[in-house]
């Protein structure tokens, strides 16, 4: 089977450092397809505590750093999410990519805009501490939910009320796209993959990599598609111990607490 080849791949909401981050699955997906541009659409990290990162989280970051090498011919773009705030300077040095609040590009004569989406969630904007508390509770419920239907049902209702706000974010994004005069706008944040159309403007949400099914967006000459990743058995969280930073990251000054001693072996190129 030929390797899928896209103009742009968009992923968001990996929440590296979280117990429910599917970083290994995301890495396998990125290695299985080809693309000219990769957009990391926010909330790539769970928080500023780098000591929460596991080995597979460092492996993901190491691969992103390799992709950012100009010899690879891949444009790597990082759009800041609400969980990434405060990491922009660190990210520029850590993985060699520039961090944007929003990113615009043109493809097939159409203007595209990528913005994480928390800007359209007034609860997060106005209640940052409370939203972080709910996010922590949500993560804990996700860890408990596997195989427990009652908890899963409560988790779905919790998501809808406090964390998803999918339709509000979609409405805000569509209005923003109209103001910016773009034809397509892409967001993350809600963890709910979806598409909405208003007039000549199309809105797409990437979903997340913290729950099943993990989803990503691919753009090519045929249009925009939301893909579900077919997770392999060895993609699932290994429960491995926390890992120290990759040696190639060890020299980087870390205002957020990046550990300096190295144990992890980097991903092959």
pLDDT above 70: residue 103: yes
Q: Distance between CA atoms of 264 and 203, rounded to whole angstroms? A: 39
Quote the pLDDT of residue 156.
45
Decide if 255 is inside a domain. Answer: no
Q: Which residue has the higher pLDDT, 4 or 14?
A: 14
Question: Tokens 């615009």 appear where?
Answer: 104
Query: Is 243 in contact with 53 (CB distance < 8 Å)?
Result: yes
Q: Distance (Å, rounded) from C-alpha 187 to C-alpha 54?
A: 26
Residue 171 lies in a domain: yes
pLDDT band at 165 (very low <50, low <70, confident <90, very high): confident
> Is residue 194 over pLDDT 50?
yes
User: What are the tokens at 56?
Assistant: 């597979």
Residue 259 domain-assigned (yes or no): no
Q: Is residue 143 part of a domain?
A: no
For residue range 118-152, list pLDDT tens digits in order: 999 875 544 455 445 555 555 555 555 444 444 44
In a domain, 141, yes or no: no
- Asked if residue 242 is part of any domain, the answer here is yes
Report the CATH number that the domain containing residue 56 is assigned in CATH: 3.60.21.10
- Using alpha carbons, select from 108, 80, 61, 76 the residue that is nearest to residue 252: 61
Domain count of the fold of the chain = 1
- Asked if residue 239 has pLDDT above 70, the reply is no
CB 43 within 8 A of CB 82: yes
The verdict on residue 155 lying in a domain is no
Nearest Cα residue to 204 out of 165, 2, 221, 219:
219
> In this structure, is residue 147 part of a structural domain?
no
Q: Are 146 and 140 in contact (CB under 8 A)?
A: no
What gap in Å lies between CA 103 and CA 37, rounded to an integer?
A: 12
Q: What share of the chain in percent tops pLDDT 70?
A: 70
pTM over 0.95: no
Average pLDDT of the chain is 78
Does residue 23 register a pLDDT over 90? yes
Structural domain range at position 234: 5-121+165-249
């Amino acid at each position: 089977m030929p390797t899928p080849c896209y103009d742009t791949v968009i992923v968001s909401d990996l929440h590296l450092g979280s117990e429910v981050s599917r970083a290994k699955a995301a890495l396998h997906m990125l290695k299985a397809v080809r693309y000219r541009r990769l957009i990391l659409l926010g909330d790539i990290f769970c928080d500023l505590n780098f000591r929460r990162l596991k080995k597979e989280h460092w492996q993901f970051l190491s691969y992103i750093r390799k992709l950012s090498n100009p010899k690879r011919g891949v444009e790597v773009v990082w759009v800041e999410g609400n969980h990434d705030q405060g990491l922009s300077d660190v990210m520029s040095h850590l993985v060699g990519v520039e961090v944007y609040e929003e990113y615009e590009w043109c493809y097939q004569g159409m203007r595209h805009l990528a913005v994480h989406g928390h800007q359209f969630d007034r609860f997060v904007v106005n209640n940052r501490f409370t939203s972080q508390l709910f996010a922590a509770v949500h993560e804990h419920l996700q860890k408990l939910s596997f195989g427990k239907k009652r908890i899963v049902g409560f988790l779905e209702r919790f998501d809808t009320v406090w964390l998803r706000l999918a339709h509000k974010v979609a409405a805000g994004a569509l209005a923003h796209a109209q103001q910016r005069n773009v034809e397509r706008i892409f967001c993350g944040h809600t963890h709910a993959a979806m598409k909405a159309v208003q007039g000549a403007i199309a809105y797409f949400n990437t979903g997340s990599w913290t729950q099943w099914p993990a989803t990503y967006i691919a753009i090519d000459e045929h249009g925009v598609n939301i893909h579900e990743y077919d997770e392999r058995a060895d993609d699932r969280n290994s429960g491995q111990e926390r890992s120290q930073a990759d040696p190639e990251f060890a020299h980087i000054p870390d205002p957020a607490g990046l550990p300096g001693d190295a144990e992890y072996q980097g991903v092959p190129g």
